[in-house]
Amino acid sequence: MESIIATFHIDWKIIIAQAVNFAVVFIVLYLFALKPLNKLMAERSEKIGRGIADAKANAQLLEATKAEYETALSKARAEATAIFQTGKKEAEVKRAEMLESAKVEVKAMIESGKKTLEAEKVRMVEDAKREVVALVVAATKKVLDDKVDISASTKSAAELGKIA
């Protein structure tokens, strides 16, 4: 063994000094680099773990929210359909009422028109009767006036003849 130590020029003092230097550097690195680095890594791992847990919770919350959204959407669609159907029924009822009132109004207008026409017809017939009566009276008067003139002329001529 001494020959190996002599061949490789191994000095025990240097090996011990290097071991002490290594221990000092290791302790310094451990205290100032490795320990804070481990602490930083632990914090980072914890943060990542919380992030994963939060992501899972958010995914579950998202699924629950999506389910609520779908439920609310289907309810809203059902309500919209119901409102639409109700509105449609009300519109049909209103339309039927309006048609019925329009029919009644048209019927009333027709009746009123018929009454007006009947009254106009009666008035026209009465006017025609009055005109006919007036014409008959005028014609009779004229005929009678002519006969009276003729008889007066005939009487006048006969009287003239008697006188002559």
Token pair of 35, please? 């320990």
pLDDT band at 143 (very low <50, low <70, confident <90, very high): confident
* 79-111: pLDDT as tens digits: 999 999 999 999 999 999 999 999 999 999 999
Determine, yes or no, domain membership for 93.
yes
Range of the domain at 100: 2-117
In a domain, 125, yes or no: no
At residue 76, the pLDDT reads 95
Q: Is residue 63 part of a domain?
A: yes
* CA 46 from centre of chain: 53
DSSP structure class, residue 11: -
In a domain, 37, yes or no: yes
Token pair recorded at residue 155: 């009487």
Domain-located, residue 127: no
Cβ contacts of residue 4 below 8 Å, gap of 6+? 10
Q: Which residues contact 111 (CB under 8 A, 6 or more apart)?
A: none
Per-residue pLDDT tens for 50-73? Answer: 999 999 999 999 999 999 999 999
Domain tally, the chain: 1
Residues near 10 by beta carbon (within 8 Å), at least 6 away in sequence:
4
- What's the pTM value of the predicted model, to 2 decimals? 0.41
Residue 134, in any domain of the structure: no
Whether residue 158 is contained in a domain is answered as no
Average pLDDT on 18-27 reads: 95
Decide if 99 is inside a domain: yes
